[in-house]
Structure 1
């Protein structure tokens, strides 16, 4: 058989690129992968199991039992599995001409039995294996071969889930506002950091005539489902504000996600405000309760939450309330992830001091998230600061 060296090299380059794209190499242990290796050991009755990823010159094991975390790639059984991109089952390596003199057979760990299934990246590139090994011969039944393939599919699903979260995170970042509103007389800044790949928190801002709107939402929950609900609320509010007032806009968003929230057994807290050039702020606080005004001269005004979150049954209308920003005053809204990370209610004087101590809203937001990261960030963290010019 003639081997096309250029084709082999191209395949290897594509494979390495796909492996790198997964972002798994040299990561720490994870229970979701360890669960699979433990189950494989029990099902096949072997002393060694590995979820192996093939880097340039090494085998790196994301999860393993009875093996080291790394080993050379050269002459590896897993390398053969990946190159042929098909299951490799060796009942007794010492009786197999392909492997009888293999260093992993004649030396440590003195393999006799090997069964491996290739693992693929989302693009189809073979990047590693799920394999079971022993120092004594074995013969697998057709049913056992199918079980090994099913377990390998499970590993692949977990690897792909990470890739999907990465892609979702990129898409979610693309939904965040890129341009600041025109907002003459105001300076605005915001940031959102998810506890996982995607966030249940979201913020938004946009112009509406001479005014501009600011939104902060927090979907109870984390991950993909929460991010989808958050995107739906954001889209509904943007669409409705062109032809409806604050109350009608929030109600329209609530109706749009009502069914999704009911199925997920969750809800959305929301702070949605419309700011006017004269400093007036009309707002609806649907169960959020984490917005306040830091006055330029002295004091802080906590803005009350006037209605229940979206997704909870309510017979009361969500009536907008009003507050006025004087020159130098700052409207601040955070998510409960900031509150939890900094230490509950004591977060408010800390955030107040940060806002007063920073010359710009951007500096204040950056510092708020930095302090939250230094605490115990178990949830998504979001902060928005709007400061009215002191001139």
Structure 2
């Protein structure tokens, strides 16, 4: 495979071509314009036959031909390219971007690398009059380009982490005759620290909801590890499974100040009996058929705090018409007035799926407040 083919694969793997503007990258182009006092700035990515601008000021569009592009030369040479006066330059004096629109005279660009090392684009500054950059200005251009490179890599890492996290959510809804299930999770950002899980274990339904303190990649990784651990050896007693997660977290992240709250339960489908462990979560409830609420409590602090004195499970029963509801604390941030009355009203009017959809809608309208997850198990008969 040629170097150009490697480079093209690298830029396509980033998944950034033709994506909407990103404020983090736009901010850098604004800083570059202010720092250098130039009319045109671009974060340019070199595609097969075009140059595509992730961010630009003063160039009037997001695409231009690759042929003759100054940025293509910068990418190919893999180092800073400075053309002080293109009209006097033997290489660029007849360039269509010099002799025609936008009538360039000055160009300075530094290459941007993909995480795998290939040069895929540039941060460049341009002017219609000749210019000179001193050593400090060249260093600044390089630093700003490396900042863009870091932001693009972070976007790629977040996107990959988001794909992994979505893959760890339940692939399908378990078959539970006589019950209606619904659940949703909405991250405050691109990825979150909430997870839920549900699956059949013979005549039981296993349900889990966990909330890692914080938002972003770190909590998302921990949440995925919690889910994986609780899925291991599913025949263990609930309390033993939760205690094992506690020990693992204490070994791995003890002392970091990060902790996890969790609700882990089994529902006997024939009887409606619920066996559950609440590790500092305190957001598990039953809405009874007569519209009263039962609060599900069991002993235990959050996971990872290093104070596990032995987890114990507790019992409750879902009767026909009752609904088990578990949520993360993000739900409390988006509900107005009495949250229990709000939930009761929507659940009765819209059913489990409608109630979950409403919670997700509210979470998206309050984007950035906190991760939100809601899980409902309603016994119909």
Same fold at TM > 0.5:
yes
**Cα distance, 1:62 vs structure 2:** 3.7
Q: Does 1:357 align with 2:349?
A: yes
Contact 1:192 1:202 in 2 (8 A): yes
Contact 1:269 1:286 in 2 (8 A): yes
The structure-2 alpha-carbon separation of the partners of 1:364 and 1:262, relative to structure 1 and needing over 3 Å to count, comes to same
Residue number in structure 1 paired with 2:296: 303
In structure 1, distance between residues paired with 2:275 and 2:228: 20
SS across alignment from 1:281? strand
Report the number of matched residues: 377
Question: What's the TM-score once normalised by structure 1's chain length?
Answer: 0.81
**Cα distance, 1:386 vs structure 2:** 0.7
In structure 2, distance between residues paired with 1:329 and 1:234: 27
Out of 137, 145, 149, the position equivalent to 1:156 is: 149
Contact 2:7 2:119 in 1 (8 A): no
The structure-2 alpha-carbon separation of the partners of 1:235 and 1:246, relative to structure 1 and needing over 3 Å to count, comes to same
In structure 1, distance between residues paired with 2:29 and 2:298: 46
**Cα distance, 1:112 vs structure 2:** 2.8
Question: What's the TM-score once normalised by structure 2's chain length?
Answer: 0.83
Contact 1:296 1:328 in 2 (8 A): yes
1:225-264 paired onto structure 2 within 5 Å: 225-239=218-232, 241-243=234-236, 245-262=237-254, 264=256
Residue number in structure 1 paired with 2:373: 382
Contact 1:341 1:373 in 2 (8 A): no
**Cα distance, 1:64 vs structure 2:** 4.5
Q: Does 1:338 align with 2:348?
A: no
The structure-2 alpha-carbon separation of the partners of 1:350 and 1:190, relative to structure 1 and needing over 3 Å to count, comes to same
SS across alignment from 2:338? helix
Out of 155, 160, 167, the position equivalent to 2:160 is: 167
In structure 1, distance between residues paired with 2:80 and 2:159: 29
SS across alignment from 1:358? helix
Tell me the C-alpha RMSD between the 2 structures.
Answer: 3.4
The structure-2 alpha-carbon separation of the partners of 1:165 and 1:307, relative to structure 1 and needing over 3 Å to count, comes to same
**Cα distance, 1:356 vs structure 2:** 1.7
Task: Describe the superposition over 1:247-301 as per-residue Cα deviations: whole angstroms up to 9, x where unpaired.
Answer: 2221111111124443542211111112123111121222222221122233222
Q: Does 1:348 align with 2:340?
A: yes
1:167-206 paired onto structure 2 within 5 Å: 167-181=160-174, 183-206=176-199
In structure 1, distance between residues paired with 2:283 and 2:265: 13
Hey, which bits of structure 1, 4+ residues long, moved more than 6 A? 7-13, 55-58
Residue number in structure 1 paired with 2:258: 266
In structure 2, distance between residues paired with 1:208 and 1:374: 36
User: Gaps (5+ residues) in structure 1?
Assistant: 1-6
**Cα distance, 1:327 vs structure 2:** 1.0
**Cα distance, 1:92 vs structure 2:** 2.0
Contact 1:342 1:372 in 2 (8 A): no
In structure 1, distance between residues paired with 2:217 and 2:367: 22
In structure 2, distance between residues paired with 1:370 and 1:72: 39
SS across alignment from 1:22? coil
**Cα distance, 1:202 vs structure 2:** 0.1
The structure-2 alpha-carbon separation of the partners of 1:263 and 1:138, relative to structure 1 and needing over 3 Å to count, comes to farther
Residue number in structure 2 paired with 1:4: none
Task: Describe the superposition over 1:14-53 as per-residue Cα deviations: whole angstroms up to 9, x where unpaired.
Answer: 587456x226x452351455247526863x6756543223
Contact 2:32 2:41 in 1 (8 A): no
**Cα distance, 1:219 vs structure 2:** 0.7
Residue number in structure 1 paired with 2:307: 314
